[in-house]
Amino acid sequence: MRHRLRFLTGLILTGLILAALPPRPTLAGQAPAGANPSADERVALLRRELDALRQEYATRMAAIEEKLAAIEAARAAAPTPAAAAPAEPAPPPPAVAQAAPATASKVFNPDMAAIGNFVGAAGESPGGGEPSLNMQEAELSFQAVVDPYARADFFVTLSPEEVALEEGYITFTALPGGFLTKVGRMRDAFGKVNGMHPHTMPWVDRPLVTRNLTGGEDGLADAGISVARLIPNPWLFLEATGQVYQGRSAIFQAPTRGDLAWVGHLRAYQDLGESTNVDLGGSIAYGHNGLTADTTTRLLGVDATLRWKPLRRSIYTHFLARGELTWSRAEEEAGSLGALGGYGYLEYQFARRWTGGVRYDSSERALAPGLRDTGGSFLVTFRPSEFSLVRAQYRRTSLADADQPFNELLFQLQFAIGAHGAHPF
Amino acid sequence: MRFPSVVALALLAAAPPTGAAVNVVATTEDLADLTRQVGGDRVKVEAIARGYQDPHFVEAKPSFILKLAKADLLVAVGRELEVGWLPPLVQQSRNSRIQPGADGYLDASLTVRILEIPTGQITRAMGDVHPLGNPHYWLDPGNGRHIAKAIADKLSRMAPADAAYFAARYADFDRRLAEAEKRWDALMAPYKGLKVVTYHRSWPNFVDRFGLDVIGYVEPRPGIPPSPGHTLDLIAEMKRQGVKILIVEPYFDLKTPNSIARETGARVLVLPPSVGGDKDITDFIALFDHDVDLLVRTIKETGAK
């Protein structure tokens, strides 16, 4: 058996070397074209060629011998139930099929995924609103490790109207001092919902408070630098995040280069047993609002989340309660305007693939604080698998400047292909 | 062979620890126990997933970030079992020692026997397939030995002063495991080729090791909940082949398995696939003690062949 293997190896090896020869840019080819190399040069050339071949033979031989040893060891170690187990386990053969040379370059391709978000809407819409049938967006993600010090994440959104960089940043995962640092374009670390991508939201739409106070349809995102550090303490998880942005987002419009926007966020998390936990946050954002040369907007936010998920039945049921309050103080020429808004949300998973939810919205408008919009939603989500979902949302919106409430039915179909992303928490 | 290793162990145990304990976080209780087996009192081990929860769907709680932040070594199952929750935890741990590729990151699957590595084209039409092979590989005691060896080697590199201690602990574990394997093999020997059905594809290494034959799954595809059509097909197939044992992991709903059992006369057997899955499963060897005992008892009671 062993002899046959050796013979086979030799044969394969010879074949490999022969096969490797022709396409290789031969060393002879490196001689200047047209020049007639002298005999000495030719000998030197041949010698170099021979050396290269010898080296290649040695490395290939070593590789094959290693593989053979692994295969033989694995055969020896293969569990024959009756036999006593070997004292020293030998490494089994490489379990992943060796990538063919042609695909080896793909090994370093980033993890890629595309998420489609199709939204349908029916009923009376409060001014514009969602179209009846709309491929709202497709999000493409590219994520990979850059080097031993950092990783990079890109999220590109494609909609019928535009291509946008939703987020694109590098994360330094191993800076000294425990500073988790991100540089690039990011969603501001302001509260909970602002950090969510559309496909991780538990609703079809964002709450009214997002539209009225924190940046319209898509929330706050900008280019800047984010630093987050854990605050060591014996009691709970405490993380402080500080961010500085160029000041060009839906709320902040820096008139000059020096007028940066700042965001601070403090997150406290504590397990109350293995099934239940609380997550509290406080946020502050500050920057020029562009209404005049030196007017600013200040946002304050608090958020609270209570989660319950029994571990033994974790794929079948969970409960989540979340509330966020945001207070905005926007300066304008005449003075400053304060506005308050928020939402409350309850979610219950009642079967492996089914989740129900209810949300209450209430928010003043940033620049017209007297006007308060309110709304309520009922939601049902069905997840055929981890990679798709169908959602229905009944939404009733009462706008401060409209006589009657608007009743709408929203439908969402979301589907993901590509790399398996992290589950949202 | 046995005597010297016991003596060596006793001597080493008597010696005071040479350095600070290595801080280890393991993603599952199985890996945590194997680390304890070889690490003894020279390691401090914590597990993330509990033995009674579905290891595919662990929540990435910030409290785990705190554990990872302090870890010298992270031992992971790998093969994308933890793909939904471990990467964000490791990224936020701010711990350069345990990032994938660093010295303190040990993928326990690299030195074991992996089954069900897909060949050819795979798509998610096949369900939530694991492209790198079945990640439930610790359910073969032989693989447990490989994992323990890999952990012992890793610990020895991290704490060279304790290398002899780890080697002796490993030798002792190896001996106890070999003895237990003889026991399990003897118990299971009469049931070679016994046909069973399982809920999820958690058991290929287990059935391969003990010579059982899985003829179907309650899940129509991995990770996809049971469908009526598939359940009917499965019932017909179980009747045709006379299957009497239906193995269910403790974190799955028993409704469909119970109705299959009613139709076919098979017995539903809740079999924990992990350390900590039941009160008496306190370590890796106890896991197989528990499962093999329960399986053999059920086989006898049902008269399955």
- Whether the CA torsion B76, B79, B84, B87 is positive or negative: it is positive
Which of A89-98, A259-268, B182-191 shows the lowest per-residue confidence on average (mean pLDDT)?
Answer: A89-98
Instruction: Report pLDDT for A242.
Output: 98
Count of CB pairs separated by less than 8 Å, A with B: 148
Question: Looking at the predicted structure, is the pLDDT value of residue A345 above 90?
Answer: yes
Are A178 and B69 inside 8 Å of each other by CB? yes
- Which residues, numbered 58 to 87 in chain B, qualify as contacts with chain A under a Cβ-Cβ cut-off of 8 Å? 58-63, 65-66, 69, 80, 83-85, 87
Which chain A residues contact residue B88 at CB under 8 A? 422, 425
Separation CA B31–CA B35 (nearest Å): 6
Domain with CATH 3.40.50.1980 in chain B: 2-180, 184-302
Q: Which helix (H) or strand (E) holds A350?
A: strand A335-351
Are B57 and A422 inside 8 Å of each other by CB? no
Q: What is the pLDDT of residues A272-298, one digit of tens each?
A: 999 999 999 999 999 999 888 889 999
For B96, name the nearest residue in chain A, comparing CA atoms only: A174
Which of A16-25, A110-119, B11-20 shows the lowest per-residue confidence on average (mean pLDDT)?
Answer: A16-25
In DSSP notation, A93-125 reads: PPSSPPPPGGGGGGGGSPEEEEEEEEEEEEE--
The alpha carbon of residue B215 is apart from the nearest alpha carbon of chain A, in Å, by 21
At the fourth CATH level, the homologous superfamily of domain A119-127+188-193+202-418 is: Porin (2.40.160.10)
Residue B179 touches chain A, beta carbons under 8 Å: no
Question: Looking at the predicted structure, is the pLDDT value of residue A96 above 60?
Answer: no
Tell me the pLDDT band of A20, cut-offs 50, 70 and 90: very low
Residue B220 touches chain A, beta carbons under 8 Å: no
Q: Which long-range CB contacts under 8 A does B160-168 form with residues at least 24 apart?
A: B161/B18, B161/B19, B162/B17, B162/B18, B162/B19, B162/B42, B164/B8, B164/B12, B165/B12, B165/B15, B165/B40, B165/B42, B166/B38, B166/B39, B166/B40, B166/B42, B168/B5, B168/B8, B168/B9, B168/B12
Instruction: Report pLDDT for A195.
Output: 94
Residue B180 touches chain A, beta carbons under 8 Å: no
Q: What is the pLDDT of residues B42-96, one digit of tens each?
A: 999 999 999 999 999 999 999 999 999 999 999 999 999 999 999 999 999 999 9
Mean pLDDT of A352-356: 96
Question: Looking at the predicted structure, is the pLDDT value of residue B103 above 70?
Answer: yes
The alpha carbon of residue B34 is apart from the nearest alpha carbon of chain A, in Å, by 15
Separation CA A280–CA A267 (nearest Å): 6
Are A422 and B113 inside 8 Å of each other by CB? no
Residue B181 touches chain A, beta carbons under 8 Å: yes
The alpha carbon of residue A90 is apart from the nearest alpha carbon of chain B, in Å, by 8
- The alpha-helical segments, DSSP class H, found in A201-355 are 208-213
Fill in the DSSP letter of residue A188: -
Per DSSP, the three-state class of B159 is coil
Which chain A residues contact residue B29 at CB under 8 A? none
Instruction: Report pLDDT for A107.
Output: 84
Q: Which residues pair with A155 in a beta bridge?
A: A141, A167
Instruction: Report pLDDT for B16.
Output: 46
Tell me the pLDDT band of A342, cut-offs 50, 70 and 90: very high
Q: Which residue has the tokens 């506005």?
A: A339
Question: Looking at the predicted structure, is the pLDDT value of residue B222 above 80?
Answer: yes
Mean pLDDT of B271-283: 96
Mean pLDDT of A257-266: 95
Question: Looking at the predicted structure, is the pLDDT value of residue A50 above 80?
Answer: no
Tell me the pLDDT band of B6, cut-offs 50, 70 and 90: low
- Which residues, numbered 124 to 143 in chain B, qualify as contacts with chain A under a Cβ-Cβ cut-off of 8 Å? 124, 127-128, 132-133, 140-142
Q: What is the pLDDT of residues B227-249, one digit of tens each?
A: 999 999 999 999 999 999 999 99
The alpha carbon of residue B180 is apart from the nearest alpha carbon of chain A, in Å, by 11
Are B85 and A89 inside 8 Å of each other by CB? no
CATH code for the domain defined by B2-180: 3.40.50.1980
Instruction: Report pLDDT for A121.
Output: 95
Are B171 and A175 inside 8 Å of each other by CB? no
- The arrangement of secondary structure in B184-302, i.e. its CATH architecture, is 3-Layer(aba) Sandwich (3.40)
Question: Looking at the predicted structure, is the pLDDT value of residue A93 above 80?
Answer: no
Question: Looking at the predicted structure, is the pLDDT value of residue B177 above 80?
Answer: yes
User: Using CB atoms, which residue from A79, A95, A274 is nearest to B117?
Assistant: A95
pTM above 0.90, yes or no: no
Which chain A residues contact residue B221 at CB under 8 A? none
The alpha carbon of residue A320 is apart from the nearest alpha carbon of chain B, in Å, by 13
Separation CA B223–CA A423 (nearest Å): 15
Instruction: Report pLDDT for A106.
Output: 80
Mean pLDDT of A355-367: 96
Which chain B residues contact residue A74 at CB under 8 A? 113
Tell me the pLDDT band of A176, cut-offs 50, 70 and 90: confident
Question: Looking at the predicted structure, is the pLDDT value of residue B129 above 90?
Answer: no
- Exposure string of A111-140, with b = 16+ CB inside 10 Å and e = fewer, is bebebbbbbbbeeeebeeebeeeeebbbbb
For B227, name the nearest residue in chain A, comparing CA atoms only: A384
Fill in the DSSP letter of residue A80: -
A123: left (phi over 0), alpha (psi -120 to 50) or beta: left
Are B94 and A353 inside 8 Å of each other by CB? no
In DSSP notation, B62-112 reads: HHHHHHHHH-SEEEE--TTTTTTTHHHHHHHTT-GGGSTTSTTEEEGGGGS
Mean pLDDT score of chain A, rounded to an integer?
84
Residue B102 touches chain A, beta carbons under 8 Å: yes
Instruction: Report pLDDT for A98.
Output: 43
Helices B284-302 and B141-158 sit at what angle, rounded to 10 degrees? Answer: 170
Q: What is the pLDDT of residues B158-174, one digit of tens each?
A: 999 999 999 999 999 99
Q: What is the pLDDT of residues A126-148, one digit of tens each?
A: 776 778 999 999 999 999 999 98
CA atoms within 13 A on the CB side of A235: 2
Q: What is the pLDDT of residues A362-373, one digit of tens each?
A: 999 998 888 999
Separation CA A44–CA A49 (nearest Å): 9
Q: What is the pLDDT of residues A222-240, one digit of tens each?
A: 999 999 999 999 999 999 9
Interface probe for B, chosen from A75, A108, A173 (most Cβ of B below 10 Å), is: A173
Are A145 and B57 inside 8 Å of each other by CB? no
